[in-house]
Amino acid sequence: MVSPATTERPWTRKDFLGIRGLERWELERLLDTAAAFKEVGTREIKKVPALRGRTLVNFFVEPSTRTRTSFELAAHRLSADVINISATQSSLTKGETLKDTARNLEALLADIIVLRHPSAGASQFLAERLQASVINAGDGAHEHPTQALLDVFTIREKLGRVEGLHVVILGDILFSRVARSNLHLLLALGARVTLCGPSTLVPREFEVLGCTVTHDLDAVLPEADVINLLRVQHERQRKEYFPSLAEYTVLFGLTKQRAARLKPGCLVMHPGPINRGVEIDSEVADGLQSVILEQVTNGLAARMAVLYLCAGAQGVR
């Protein structure tokens, strides 16, 4: 059962906006709480009454079935009620501002607002103005902190630790909120991080954050404990940054041949949805080192932890 020791330091954040700025004990509390909730998912009845009578609003200004569904299921497991609002339905299309929409959601006594938004900082903007808990489900190229949480939860579960591991993040780092959140979380927990990809998408400047940058995948492959592939996102990329897909696969695709050079225990991760034959070969995606589907399962537990801690935080309601 989920019963955080009462002698623990109390959780006080009502919002979960990004990994950056959280203290190490907070990050570890999130991971530990996720572990407790993962156990709930193995039961016959997967629900706990923790958030009964609370309302979560999934407010997705950018579409994402995957993340929306994961939050919706996490809320159901916690016995919360869920309302889904997508941008095309919402008053935003009638010219209402984000702030007005959010204040209206709060006036409807929503307890938790899960926001996916194309602008960096959108969830912070709301969180500062609302009493409701605001959970960042991806804001522009800024952060996607629940994705990082589930990624690192998966690493910790599979490899028993995070500290001291060498994690390679591969792909379009420049525009990736997943990469940013992962980088912050991994460094905070003591991992070593290498960012790898085309020089246009992985500029050297990232090294100021405390990681290594390389453009030579084949050199770094045999040294990785974890390789986390990002999705090639046609939508968000401007042509001038990106080589052709065929060229990308040749230089940075995790082909069967390349995967053979990984350490035997190296984890292969991907936030999905995968482009088979582009950034990853089917044999690798479905292979023994792949934990891609476990990431999805762990996303539920990680999101339950976030909702549970933030919506239960002192003074939230």
Give the Cα separation of 58 and 114 in Å (integer): 5
What residues are paired with 226 via a beta bridge? Answer: 167, 267
Give the Cα separation of 201 and 298 in Å (integer): 28
Which among 6-14, 89-97, 181-189, 211-219 is the span making contact with a copy of itself, rule CB under 8 A? 89-97
**103 to 162, contacts with a copy of itself by CB under 8 A?**
103-104, 106-109
Residue number, 96 or 157, with CB nearest to a copy of itself: 96
Residue number, 52 or 261, with CB nearest to a copy of itself: 52
Residue 24: enclosing H or E segment and its boundaries? helix 24-40
Residue number, 69 or 212, with CB nearest to a copy of itself: 69
Residues 190, 163: contact at Cβ < 8 Å? Answer: yes
Q: Which amino acid is at 230?
A: L
Tell me the closest approach of the beta carbon of residue 210 to a copy of itself, in angstroms: 32
The contact pattern for a copy of itself, residues 160-199, with x = CB under 8 A and - = no contact, is ----------------------------------------
91 is a site residue for a copy of itself (CB under 8 A): yes
- Which residues, 6 or more positions from 266, have their beta carbon under 8 angstroms from its beta carbon? 224, 225, 226, 227, 289
**29 to 68, contacts with a copy of itself by CB under 8 A?**
41, 43-47, 52-55, 57, 63, 65-66
Q: What is the DSSP letter of 254?
A: B
- Which residues, 6 or more positions from 97, have their beta carbon under 8 angstroms from its beta carbon? none
Q: How many CA atoms lie within 13 A of 69 on its CB side?
A: 5
Instruction: Report the interface residues with a copy of itself, using CB under 8 A.
Output: 41, 43-47, 52-55, 57, 63, 65-66, 69-70, 72-73, 76, 81, 83, 85-86, 89-91, 94-97, 100-101, 103-104, 106-109, 272-276, 293-297, 299-300, 317
